[in-house]
Amino acid sequence: MSVMVTCDEVPNKSIRLLPRITADSVRLVWAAAPRLLIVSIVLKLLNGVGLAATLVFGRDLISSVLAADAVKPGIGAVAPQLATVVGIVAAIGLITAAGREVREILSETTARHAKQAIIDVAAKVELSAYETPNFHDRLLRASAAEHRPIQMVDGVVGTIGSIASIGGIVVALLTIQPWLVPLLFLAGLPLLIGVVKAGQAMFGFHLRMTTVARARGYLYRLLTAKDPAKEVRAFGLAGYLTARHTALYDQHMAELRKTTRKRFRIAVISTIGLSLALGGGLAGLLALALSGRLALAETATAAAALLILGERILTTVNNIGDLYEAGLFVEDYTTFLATAPHQHGHTGTWPAPAKFDRITVDNVSFTYPAANGPALREVSLEIQAGQVIALVGENGSGKTTLAKLLSRLYLPAAGTIRWDGTDTADLDPDELHRRIAVIFQDFARYDLTARENIGFGAVEHVDDQSAVQAAARHAGADSYLSELPKGYETILSPEYDGGRDLSVGQWQRVALARAFIRDAPLIILDEPTAALDPRAEHDLFRRIRSLYKGRTVLLISHRYNTVRDADHIYVLDEGQIVEHGDHDELMAANGVYAELFTLQAAAYTGRRSDDAAR
C-alpha cells in the first residue's frame, strides 16, 4: 500500500496557545461531567493538604516524643497525636482510592461526550466529505484524542500543585540569596522551549502517521473481519496482506523511533542547560561560603532549596509540556468538530414539500472529489409524479451518481434539481431524505434483527411488527424470515448467538422491503433485481406499478428487458443523456438503446436455444 506522507512538520503552534487550549479542555470536561470534575479537583486538593498535614503533624509528634521522654514517659502522652497522624494517613489512602475511581468515571464520561460529538459531526457532514482523505485523517485523529481533555485537566491540576510548591521554595530562597531565583528561572526557559518542541514532535508524528494508521487499520480489518474472510482464504491473501500490515507497522515504528530520538536530544540539551544553571548556582554559593560571606547553615539551606527547586522546575516544565502536547490534540479535535460540518456544500433550511408534481433535473454536472473528470455532464431530465422512469447505460455511465444526486446525498456542482420549481439545495436535507426511499446496489446489511433491517426504511415504524411483515410480504421475504429461529427477531449475522445469514437474493428482498415500508413519494431502486432469480425479477417488474401505486419510481438497470414497460427511459453514456423516450420510440430510433436491447435479447434467446439443444 503506497501511503504518501505529505505533512512533514507540525504547523507552528506557539506555547501562547496553551491558555486557550487548556480552557477548551476544561470546558469539554466540564460539559461532560461538571460535578465529577469538581469532586475530582477537590479530592486532589485534599490529597495535597493531607500530605502537608502528615508532615506537620508528624513533626509535632516527633517533637512531643522527644519532649515526653524527659518529663513523663509513656505512649499515652503521644497517643492522640499518633492517632491523628495515622488518621490522616488513612484519610489520604481513602482520598487517593476515591480519587482514582472518580477519575476513571470522569475520564470515561469525557471520552463518551467527546465520541458523541464526533458521531454527531460524522452523521451530519455531507456525504462528499467521506470522499476526501483529509476528512478520514481528521476523523481518526479526533477519535484517538478522546482521552486528551481529561489528561489536560489532570495536567492543569498537577501543574497548579507544583507551581504552588515552587512558590514556597522561591520565597525561602529569596530571603537567603535572591539572585539564585532568576538564574533558575532563566534555566527553566530553554527547558520550556524544549518541552514545547518535544510536544510538537510527538503531535507531528501522529499527524504524519495518520494515513499510515488508517491504512494499517484497514488491513487489520481485512485480516480479521467476517466479510473479507472468504476471499482472503480462497485467494490465499493472508500472507500478502500480513506483509503489508507489517511493512506499515515498520514504517510507524521507524518514525516513532525517529521522534523519540529527537525528543531525547531535546531533553539532553535542556537538562544540560538546567544542570549548568544548578551547578553555577551551587558554585556561587560555595564561593560565597568559602570567602566567608555566607554562613554555613545558610549555604546548606540555600543549596538544598536550590536543588529542590531545580527538581520542581523540571517536573513543572514537564507537566506543562504534557499539557501542551495534549492541547495540540485537543485543538485538532475541536477544530475538526467546528469546521467539518461546514466544509462541504451548503445546507438548505426550507421545509421539504410532502410530495411533488414534477422533478426537474436541469443541466446538472457533477465531479467526485477524488475524480479527474465529471461523472455527469449537463444532464437534464424530467420526472412526473406517478411515473416509472428508467435509467439505463453501461458500467460507469453515471446512473448511480444521478441517483445519489436525486436522493440529495450530493449536491450538483452545476445546474439544479428542482421539486416543483424549488431548488432541492435550498431544502432541509433531512426532510428531503424522508421523502425519498432509495436502495442502492451496495445496500447495507445490518448485523441486527430482520425486523430492524426492514424497519430502518421508516425508523419510526421499527417496532411495528405488522408494518415490517407487510413490507416483507410485498418484497417476497416474509416466507423465509418467518422461518428463522426467532422469526423477525433473528439477528441477520452468524457472528451472534442464534444469528443467521441470508443468501444474496434474500438480502436483496430485505433491502426492497426497506424501500416498501418507507412512505415516500419518490422511490429510487438501483439495480434492485441484480441478485434475484429470473422468476422473481420478472414478477417484481410486472408488479412494480401496483406495488408502488401512486408513487414515482426511478429504476436503474442494466437489463433492458426489465425496463421496457417504463413510462420513460433515459440512456446514459459517459455522464450524458444520449437518448430518451419510451421503449417503442427508442426502438424506432434505432440508436444505442435499440442496439443493446436487441443484443441482450439475442444473447438471452441464444442461450436458451443452446440450452434447448443440449
Nearest to 527 by CA among 545, 541, 548: 541
The answer to whether 390 contacts ligand ATP (rule: CB under 6 A) is no
- How many angstroms separate the CA atoms of 593 and 590, rounded? 7
The answer to whether 99 contacts ligand ATP (rule: CB under 6 A) is no
Judged by CB under 6 A, the stretch of 61-69, 195-203, 397-405, 419-427 that binds ligand ATP is: 397-405
Of 368, 446, 456, 480, the one binding ligand ATP (CB under 6 A) is 368
SS3 category, 33? coil
Chain Cα centroid distance, residue 411: 24
CB 160 within 8 A of CB 376: no
H/E run at residue 377: strand 376-384
The answer to whether 400 contacts ligand ATP (rule: CB under 6 A) is yes
The answer to whether 490 contacts ligand ATP (rule: CB under 6 A) is no
Residue with smaller CB distance to ligand ATP, 344 or 399: 399
The answer to whether 442 contacts ligand ATP (rule: CB under 6 A) is no
- DSSP-H helix ranges across 235-295: 238-290
CB 320 within 8 A of CB 312: no
Tell how strand 388-393 and strand 568-573 pair up: parallel
Grid cell listed for 561: 428487458
Q: What are the backbone dihedrals phi and psi of residue 380, each rounded to the nearest 5 degrees, phi first?
A: -130, 135
Judged by CB under 6 A, the stretch of 86-94, 356-364, 388-396, 507-515 that binds ligand ATP is: 388-396
Other C-beta atoms within 10 Å of 459: how many? 11
Question: Shortest gap between Cβ of 465 and ligand ATP (angstroms)?
Answer: 34
The answer to whether 528 contacts ligand ATP (rule: CB under 6 A) is no
The answer to whether 397 contacts ligand ATP (rule: CB under 6 A) is yes
Q: What angle do CA 191, 197, 198 make, to 5 degrees?
A: 85
- How many angstroms separate the CA atoms of 224 and 495, rounded? 13
Of 375, 405, 427, 484, the one binding ligand ATP (CB under 6 A) is 375
Of 395, 497, 535, 550, the one binding ligand ATP (CB under 6 A) is 395
Q: What angle do CA 77, 80, 84 make, to 5 degrees?
A: 145
Of 123, 370, 612, 613, the one binding ligand ATP (CB under 6 A) is 370
Handedness of CA 63, 65, 69, 73 (dihedral sign): positive
Of 60, 108, 131, 565, the one binding ligand ATP (CB under 6 A) is 131
Question: Shortest gap between Cβ of 399 and ligand ATP (angstroms)?
Answer: 4
Size of the site for ligand ATP (CB under 6 A): 14
Of 396, 421, 494, 498, the one binding ligand ATP (CB under 6 A) is 396
Question: Shortest gap between Cβ of 568 and ligand ATP (angstroms)?
Answer: 18
The answer to whether 319 contacts ligand ATP (rule: CB under 6 A) is no
Residue with smaller CB distance to ligand ATP, 290 or 371: 371
The answer to whether 409 contacts ligand ATP (rule: CB under 6 A) is no
- How many angstroms separate the CA atoms of 55 and 84, rounded? 12
The answer to whether 70 contacts ligand ATP (rule: CB under 6 A) is no
C-alpha distance from residue 576 to each of 396, 562, 570, 573 (Å): 11, 22, 10, 5
Residue with smaller CB distance to ligand ATP, 2 or 395: 395
Question: Shortest gap between Cβ of 252 and ligand ATP (angstroms)?
Answer: 28
The residue ranges that bind ligand ATP (CB under 6 A) are 131, 368, 370-371, 375, 393, 395-401, 441
